[in-house]
Amino acid sequence: MIYQKRDEYLFVKETRDNNYLAHMHRQVEIFYVLDGAIEITISSQKKLLKKGMISIAFPNMVHETHTPEHSLAVMIIFNHDFLPDFSVEFHTQHPLIPFITDLQNSERFSSLVSGLSESTQKNTDIRIAKGYLYILTAIILSQMTLVRQKTISTGICQDISNYLNQHFTEELSLSQLATALGYSKYHISHIFKNNFGCSYNDYLKRLRSEHAMGLLTHSELSMTEVCFASGFNSLRSFYRAFHEVYGTAPGTVK
């Protein structure tokens, strides 16, 4: 699971065959399926969404996507501060079920999505896009049950993510990470379990494997060089971790 840093206030894109490993960020993320089917997991809830279905991940909810065969969807990502009228919901609540499979007035919703996409593509007055987004968000939340969420240590998550992004290739234990950030290792372990949805070791394993994938794809380094450049201390641990993350051996990437 990766804590993703995004800077844009609004991002709208039509995406094909979307596949993205588990991640979280401080923005809201909406998927609206246009064709095919896409499997979306949000905070351990998994659903295969088909045409006309919707998912929404609130800020700091772990989510990932997987396309079994083919999918076409509109992905909308926006900063929660972009729609201040919904700040209470985004800061203190989350959907009991983050999916809508039987959308009411689907034709109107589809038209609004088209309007939002067109206004962002043509780079018109941002207030027009905001207007569309306000209505879309209101429709989505009106068809969901929201429950109060536990306090999320957003700042700590970002501190952890930033530090690991800089030091993941080094030998780094949970105790060393906790000392560097000024917290107890038990508190850091709790943050991983409850906020990141995985253990510290699994998070570090994924960071290193993703780095290794980049080196395998875009460099001429040998397998051994990729292994140690990514922070693994042996080829055996490298192969095992890479297979757990990607379901294939690193040798198949070359």
Summarize pLDDT for 89-146 with one digit per residue, the tens.
988 888 999 999 999 989 999 999 999 999 999 888 899 999 999 999 999 999 999 9
Question: Which residues make Cβ contacts (< 8 Å) with residue 3, sequence separation at least 6?
Answer: 23, 24, 25, 157, 158, 160, 161, 196
pLDDT at 252 over 80: yes
- Residue 26 pLDDT > 70, yes or no? yes
Q: Structure pTM?
A: 0.68
Per-residue model confidence (pLDDT) at position 144: 96
Return d(Cα 209, Cα 248) in angstroms, integer: 12
C-alpha torsion 104→106→107→113, nearest 10: 120
Q: Highest mean pLDDT: which of 64-78, 118-132, 140-154, 210-224?
A: 64-78
- CA–CA distance, 19 with 175 (Å, rounded to integer): 33
Between CA 93 and CA 145 the distance in angstroms is 10
Domains belonging to the chain, first-starting first, are: 2-148 (2.60.120.10), 154-252 (1.10.10.60)
pLDDT at 5 over 80: no
Rounded to the nearest integer, the mean pLDDT of the chain is: 90
Residues 6 or more apart whose CB falls under 8 angstroms from that of 70 comprise 16, 17, 35, 36, 37
Q: Which residue has the higher pLDDT, 58 or 197?
A: 58
Structure-block tokens of residue 184: 């107890």
